[in-house]
Amino acid sequence: MPLSVYYPNAPEPECVDLLKSHLRPGIKLTTDQELPANPDYHVLVAGRPSPEQLQASPNINTVIVPWAGVSPETRAALADFPHITLHNLHYNDATTAELGFALLLSAAKFVVSMDRALRTDNWMPRYDPSPAVLLHGKTALILGYGAIGRELARMCKGLSMTILATRRNPDKSSDQYADEIHPSAALPELLPRANALLVCLPHTPETEGLIGEKELALLPEKAVLVNIGRGKVVDEGALYQALKSGDGPSHLHAAGIDVWYNYPPDEAAWPNTAPANHPFHELDNIVMSPHRGGATMESEALRMTDLARLLNAAEQGQPIPNKVSLELGY
């Protein structure tokens, strides 16, 4: 019996054609917006599956979220269907890590504020004492040493940085890129060593507010923070005060942020939604990015290729990669 896949919110036709070109012959793909007349799909590809989509087919056993993050709403919806496994895609590992590395360099070198000055013909930043910090030979602490964190570690190694990392259940004490891998509980001992703190964690009840005022105060002087995980992992008020505080006890030298606290509720709000409740835009020591970590011109092709990898594994009766724990959210 062919593996039947229902993808109701599929991307542009050229992307669907690319997906089909990578699928094994035994896979039947349906991309209609409306439910099929006689639903018999085994796999539902949907970021936010509706109850109707989860109930319509008697054969459904798998949901694949066609991107990296899994929303709390999706996890809650699947909790009522214990026979359905949940999976996501890891196509954006390299793209997100690249943006994280770009934010690290931009924040450490104050690229944005200097660019802003020179656009007004102001050369003073060249002659003022430089706020830029050297990263070469320093120590980076990566919170969340998964696929993205490991890519980021590889890039930081190019700067001869010492790499510390945390993960929920470390299966080794080091690897090719991380000099030390620790459990999350070791965070208080690791933060004072971290010249760069790189957050790659998902947002879960366990990680919300993980980095607050106390944790920021443990960082050494001139530390730089980058968040490419989820905004609420870092306490918003503590982050703002640490960036604003100058030489205070919780001072943070600079930050690069791609993930935020407020998002537009709909398309009409795209041009006028503040990303936070504090005026980060008034600070010169932050680089602000609108959650574009996984976005490149090549991203859709990478996404379709990765989706095909999971569907082909299912068709061959192999374990489907990237299974998500409903309890943990990743």
pLDDT of 326 reads 87
Element housing 3 (H / E)? strand 3-6
pLDDT of 94 reads 94
pLDDT of 71 reads 87
Distance of CA 140 to the CA centre of its chain: 18
pLDDT of 72 reads 86
pLDDT of 248 reads 62
pLDDT of 250 reads 64
Beta-carbon contacts of 261 under 8 Å, excluding residues fewer than 6 positions away, are 231, 232, 236, 275, 276, 277
Apex 285 CA angle, 279 and 286, nearest 5: 60
Query: How many CA atoms within 13 Å lie on the side-chain side of 220?
Result: 12
CATH topology of domain 3-91+297-315: Rossmann fold (3.40.50)
Residue intervals in the chain for CATH 3.40.50.720: 3-91+297-315, 93-288
Packing angle of the helix pair 13-22, 299-315 (nearest 10 deg): 40
Q: How many angstroms separate the Cα of 51 from the Cα of each of 46, 56, 61, 277?
A: 12, 8, 14, 34
pLDDT of 327 reads 83
pLDDT along the chain (330 residues), means of 10: 93 95 96 91 96 96 93 91 95 95 98 97 96 97 96 98 95 94 97 98 93 96 97 97 79 96 96 98 97 93 97 97 88
In the numeric block, which tokens belong to residue 11? 């991307």
pLDDT of 48 reads 94
Yes or no: is domain 93-288 CATH 3.40.50.720? yes
Residue 206 backbone zone (phi > 0: left; psi -120 to 50: alpha; other: beta): alpha
Q: Any bridge partners for residue 4, and if so which? A: 28
In the numeric block, which tokens belong to residue 246? 């100058």
